[in-house]
Structures are given as C-alpha cells and as structure tokens.
Amino acid sequence: MKIGIIGAGISGLTAGRVLARSGHDVTVFEKSRGYGGRMSTRHIKKSVSHAMDHGVPYLMGSSQEFRALINELLEKKIVTLWTDTVSVYTNGKMLPMSPSRNSEPLFIAPKGMNSVGKYLGRWLDCCLSEKVGGITHIGGAHMKKSPWMINSSSINVFESDAVIIATPAIQAFGLVSTSQDELGLRKLITLIDEIPYSSTFSFMAGLGKRESTDWKAVKCDHPVISWIYNESSKRDTVEEFNMVVHTSDHFTKKQLNDPDKGAVEEDIMSALSEILGSWAGRPEWHETHLWRYHLPKKSLDMPFLESEDERAPLAVIGDYFQGRSLEAAYLSGLRLGEHWVDKFS
C-alpha cells in the first residue's frame, strides 16, 4: 500500500517505520528542513559543540515500548544517560532537586536531539521543506486510482492509498477539514478541534568560557521562565557555557498578538539574572525561537483516530493521544502502525 504521512515528528516517523518494515511504500512530507519535529537542534556557528536542543531537551518515559526505543538508541550510541535529577527554583531559592519528583533517568543525544529523528527516518522516503496545503479525496467512482491526493508546495499532487496526519491538532484540523465534505470525517474534526496548546519562546544563549553549573535542568516557578537547560553538560567538546530557556505559557501568550522580539529577550535576560545571578543576563550571543504549538493541554482517551471508510484510509496521530508528551506521540504512531500492519496485511 502507498502511504503518505504528513509530519516528520516522532509519531509520523514511528508509524512510517513500522509500516515500511512490513513492506508498505511510505513517503513522509515535512514542512521544516529537518527530521524530528520538536526534537529539534540548532547548530550555532555550524558547530557540534554549539548544538542547542531548543525543542524537546531529553527523552524520558516509563512504558515498555518507549523504554525499548531508548534501549535501541543506547545500543546505537545515539543517546546516553544525562541525569536523574531535576533542580527547582521556587520562592526565590534554588533547590538541588524537587522533593515531589521521583528520580527518573533522562536521556540526551550528544549530537543533538534531531539525530533521533534522523535515525527513525532512515527507512523512509522523506520530503523535507515540503509544506502540505491540503488533501483531496478522489475515491468513489475513481477507484482505479489511488483514493487520496496530497497537495504540497512544490509538486502538483502525490497520489496515495492512505494518509496519516502527524501534526499538532490545530494543523491536523485544517488538513482534515479540506476533505470533510467528501468523507464522514466530522467526528474526527470535532474531537481534534478541542485540543488547546501551550506556547513557549525557546531562548538559546552562550555565556562564554566559564565553569559549568552543578545543575543540568531547572524547573522554575517564575512568571517568565518555566525551564532552564544546561546544554554544555550534554557535550564533552563544549568549552563555553550554553543554555536553553523555555518561557511560561502565560508570558508567551501575552506576546503573541503583538510580538516585540527585543522586549521579549530583555524580559527573559532580566528573569535569568533574577534566578541565576547577574552573569546569566549578559550572554555573549543569543537566539530566540517561538514554539506556537509546544505542548497539548489535554489529551484524547484513545491511541489514534481513523476514518470509517476502509476504501480511503485516513488516520490522525500525535502527542495528544493518551498523554501529552513525546512518549505519547511515539506510542500513538507505534499503535497506529501496528494496527494498520494487521488491518492491511
């Protein structure tokens, strides 16, 4: 079966890997230049030592299936153990660890979190920098053709027997809506339209040559900053202190209607000075990236959604199915892939 997948995040790549291994012809369309979705890495100065994981900072999970993936990545030397301790900033004080958090191992990719996406995409035909504007159902009387057309930015059409949408719920809603008049997809649209997302600015900063800190990740109870990550601790080759900061949803949402990048960065640097000390508010360089759809705020109690028309299979997967995390996204893609392998054998 010829399957088109929209989105090269972990859910889309996982579903594609399962289906390709069983013999299906899988093509993945991704609007960005790289694999992994929020498992994104920016190379400042085009250097591995300046790799900044400005999306998902680490892998963490408790399910048997996700731990199996982590073990596979450990064997391939793509990830390594980072820490099992998260520090906390609360009431104006830094605590070495959260009293309410269980010690759970966190794993990072020394070459950047996007290397996980590259590994998962090795078995797939991936069309990067390929934005999909809509999908068209051409089934019914035209069953000699494939039932779906995927309309992308640089090619006229891509015909496929089945479509998997592996994007944030808001973007999936837009894509499914392009076909709701032809198919009974209104139930899918109604469900995914109810998924709100938090937003965050990812602030990447270099503080020059200085001693690293004794913390690797800090969860912050602060109106501006929600997390701080010590990127230097992930890579042995780093001679400078680099960090990534994620802003709170409340702070970020206030800036979205009238964004002033300079003012946003000034507020972040002022907050860093308050939390870590004046040195943290004077970086030698910095960059900022907006994740408009950072994390879903609610989830659906099912592993995926699919259409009822078996002549024109369509499914929606992502991090908002039975969880709100990278692990949930992986399990959603895995379970749809295994389900379709059985269904379309």
Give me the domains of the chain, ranges plus CATH numbers.
2-343 (3.50.50.60)
So what's the pLDDT on residue 51? 85
- Average pLDDT estimate for 80-105: 85
Is residue 118 pLDDT above 60, yes or no?
yes
- Average pLDDT estimate for 30-49: 81
Is residue 146 pLDDT above 90, yes or no?
no
Is residue 17 pLDDT above 60, yes or no?
yes
So what's the pLDDT on residue 141? 47
- Average pLDDT estimate for 255-274: 90
Model's pTM, two decimal places?
0.92
Contact 303, 65 (CB under 8 A): no
Please tell me the number of Cα atoms within 13 Å of 327 on its side-chain side.
16
Is residue 175 pLDDT above 60, yes or no?
yes
- Average pLDDT estimate for 250-258: 88
Q: Residue 255: which residues within 8 A CB-CB, separation 6 or more?
A: 201, 263, 264
Per the prediction, the chain carries an average pLDDT of 89
Q: Of 213, 172, 211, 216, whose CA–CA distance to 194 is shortest? A: 172
So what's the pLDDT on residue 312? 86
So what's the pLDDT on residue 181? 54
pLDDT band at 184 (very low <50, low <70, confident <90, very high): low
- Average pLDDT estimate for 61-68: 95
Is residue 179 pLDDT above 70, yes or no?
yes
pLDDT in tens, 191-209: 888 899 999 999 999 988 8
Of 19-23, 83-87, 106-110, 207-211, which gets the smallest average pLDDT? 207-211
| The three-state (H, E, C) secondary structure of the chain, written as one string | CEEEEECCEHHHHHHHHHHHHCCCEEEEECCCCCCECCCCEEEHHHCHHHEEECCCCCECCCCHHHHHHHHHHHHCCCCEEEECCCEEEECCEEECCCCCCCCCCEEECCCCCHHHHHHHHHHCEEECCCCEEEEEECCHHHCCCCCEEEEECCCCCEEECEEEECCCHHHHHHHHHCCCCCCCCHHHHHHHCCCCEEEEEEEEEECCCCCCCCCCEEEECCCCEEEEEEHHHHCCCCCCCEEEEEECHHHHHHHHCCCCHHHHHHHHHHHHHHHHCHHHHCCCEEEEEEEEEEEECCCECCCCEECCCCCCCEEECCCCECCCCHHHHHHHHHHHHHHHHHHCC
- Average pLDDT estimate for 313-335: 96
